[in-house]
Amino acid sequence: MENDRGQDVLWRELSDQPLTFLDENQMFAVNENTGELVDYLESDLYKKVAEVRKRWVDIGVIDKRLAGNKAANIDQEDAGKLLFRVGAVSRAMENLQTVQNADPKAKLREYYLAPDKPKYIVAPSNEAVMIPAKALHPERAMQFMNWILQSKEHYNFIIYGVEGKDYRIENDKIQLLTNDQFMYEWMWRNKNYFMPATNVDDSVVEDMLHNDDNARISKIFGFHFNQEPVKKRVRQSTRGVQREVPADQSGHRRL
């Protein structure tokens, strides 16, 4: 199992309150019911999560030799040895080809813990394409991005290559003729052009298309914490977090 993330995934099962992380350092959360700010590191929930992950280490679900080694997560997944990991919409599609290179019979599927509990949308997207401020020809870069999304033919070409050589279309799915994508499909995914790969089960596609059904807008939708006024205190707090939290949340020790 992935060993360095997934605290908030477990909240769905371990907490009777809907919480959403407020900051990238994962020190604070917001209660979606009340809007209350929660000090996660000082909460009983933090201890519950640490205990679960420690138990997973004890029974071998998390390999303690890999705890704290972020690169090991990807290596284990690519080798077909990862039992489960933190999900993301359509990750089961994105990672399937690599996993099947190690095990042709491998299957991936995404699930929610406590599926009857509400889901919350915290941002319109977690991906963005940026043009560097010092780019010599920013207009050309923008023109190129516009060109990619101008038509389905351009979109397929930049992601999959030349039709008939690098891929072909079968029953509205992409059959890859090479092991390489020229660009990650999820980076450009457009609902008007999207086609799954032929090795992706229809149920996985349905998971993605209906992931946001009945989801609610989070109280922190679009919010970004500006650390500038308190950056010194944040830096001091973060140092302690980086020193202590990984050992707790990777299952290295019992609280």
Residue-wise pLDDT for 165-210, tens only, equals: 999 999 999 998 987 768 888 888 888 999 998 989 999 999 888 8
Residue-wise pLDDT for 72-125, tens only, equals: 666 666 666 667 777 777 888 877 877 888 888 888 888 888 999 999 999 887
Q: Looking at residue 24, what is its pLDDT?
A: 75
- Pairwise CA distance, residues 167 & 178, whole Å: 7
Q: Mean pLDDT highest for which of 79-88, 150-159, 176-185, 245-254?
A: 150-159
- pLDDT above 70: percentage of residues in the chain: 84
How distant is the alpha carbon of residue 118 from its chain centre?
18
Q: Looking at residue 56, what is its pLDDT?
A: 84
Burial class (CB in 10 A: 0-12, 13-18, 19+), 134: exposed
Q: Looking at residue 4, what is its pLDDT?
A: 56
Confidence at 254, pLDDT banded by 50, 70, 90: low
Q: Which two tokens stand for residue 128?
A: 């963005």
In this prediction the pTM is: 0.77
36-41-42-44 Cα dihedral, nearest 10 degrees? 90
Q: Looking at residue 128, what is its pLDDT?
A: 79
88-91-92-97 Cα dihedral, nearest 10 degrees? -170
